[in-house]
Amino acid sequence: MNRRDALRLAAAVTLGSLCSTPTFAAGKGLRVLILGGTGFIGPHFVAALRAQGHSLTLFNRGRRNPELFKDIETLLGDRDGKIEALRGRDWDVVIDDSGYVPRQVKLTVDLLQGHVQHYVFVSSISAYADLSAAGIDEDHPLARLKDPAVETVNGETYGGLKALCEQVVQKNYGKHCAVIRPSYIVGPGDTTDRFTYWPVRTSRGGDMLAPGKSSDPIQFIDARDLADFMRQCVERRIAGVYNLCNPPGAVTMGDLLVTSKRLAKADTNFKWADAAFLEQQKLLDSGEIPIWSPPSGETAGAALISSARAVAQGLRFRSLETTVADTLAWHDKQPEAQRQKLRAGLTAERETELLKLLNSRA
């Protein structure tokens, strides 16, 4: 997967200055259906909603972490036509975090029409037509597919498919739905390793290749902050479209690396490589430099998305220190094979090679 694909497939930030999370009175427990629930972000949704006494039902294929929630009602099925388990049931709110193909989303929406009062759909900032401009808000033009009937989900189609899924939900639920567009979703449980790579690599110490400049902004959302906002959408019936990411410029690449170094008590020496070097070594196309975006070009705005609308509705952020520390703690508990071979970032051999090239330019 190259950098462009990774950005388009990002379904996914922390901010110390807005670290407190407001508490809303849950009142009467609500009946909440989660389409998914056992992957990365689903368990965080479950934790946030159960903490407030809501009654949950999960709908999934029963393949991923089936042992996770034995005490929660789970209906088995498949978004691709096998949704009969949902028929004739009523819920107050549905959270759809597994919708990728508009035809499949329409099947679910049609079946739940009149049986669910409020629909919350998890989309992505990849739904935007381009990410080159700074300050993109929720009214920015959306991606459009050359072939709207395509159902193959990949780096070229992901954003356009998400945009079409959004439109299916909005057409049917109107003012009774919320569309959530996260940037990179990070934190404990994230097996993509796009964020995890940086704290883990920093903790290993030594000379380390760092992209761009220390002051370059980065954007992401802690899965638990996403879950808390989703809880508010459930309890307050929040409607509309919302970008979920830390405010532009709130967190920099330097912040992430220095914080990781301090928390890990590592002796890491950062070697900053400018965008020209990274491009020359084709690192911007290989996906080996996750999260970071070059300050100019077609993805320059990916780290400068506006989340002001969500913040006004109550979105709050854990501190960067909390996200880094909890990510490291979670990673340390994973199987050794998973800890040793991350799914994103540079391999040790590749980094050594690049550092030699970088040092030879000095």
Q: Please check whether residue 189 lies inside any domain of the structure.
A: yes
Query: Residue 104: which CATH number?
Result: 3.40.50.720
361, part of any domain: no
pLDDT reported for residue 267: 98
* CA pair distance 66, 199, nearest whole angstrom: 29
Question: What's the whole-number mean pLDDT along residues 42-57?
Answer: 97
pLDDT digits (tens, 9 = 90+) for 246-273: 999 999 999 999 999 999 999 999 999 9
**Closest C-alpha to 330, from 225, 188, 186, 198:** 188
Residue 357 lies in a domain: no
Q: Is 20 exposed, middle or buried (0-12, 13-18, 19+ CB in 10 A)?
A: exposed
Calculate mean pLDDT across residues 222-242: 98
pLDDT tens track for 313-334: 999 999 999 999 999 999 999 9
pTM across the whole model: 0.91
Alpha helix stretches (DSSP H) within the chain: 3-9, 42-50, 102-112, 158-173, 197-203, 223-236, 253-264, 275-280, 283-286, 308-312, 320-332, 336-340, 348-361
Instruction: Give CA 197 to chain center in angstroms.
Output: 15
Nearest to 72 by CA among 27, 119, 37: 37
**Could you tell me if residue 358 is inside a domain?**
no
Hey, CA dihedral for 303, 313, 323, 321, is it positive or negative? positive
Residue 250 falls inside a structural domain: yes
N- to C-terminal Cα separation, the chain: 31
| DSSP alpha helix (H) spans, 95-190 | 102-112, 158-173
At residue 285, the pLDDT reads 80
Please give the C-alpha separations between residue 300 and each of 227, 242, 283, 354, in angstroms, as whole numbers: 27, 20, 16, 23
131 domain-assigned: yes
What's the mean pLDDT in 113-133? 97
Neighbours of 276 (CB within 10 A): 9
The domain total for the chain is 1
State the average pLDDT over residues 83-109: 97
What dihedral do alpha carbons 70, 76, 78, 84 form, nearest 10°?
Answer: -150
Residue 191 lies in a domain: yes
Contact 347, 286 (CB under 8 A): no
Q: Residue 174 belongs to what domain range?
A: 3-351
Q: Which DSSP symbol is given to 146?
A: S
How far apart (Å, rounded) are the C-alpha atoms in residues 242 and 187?
20
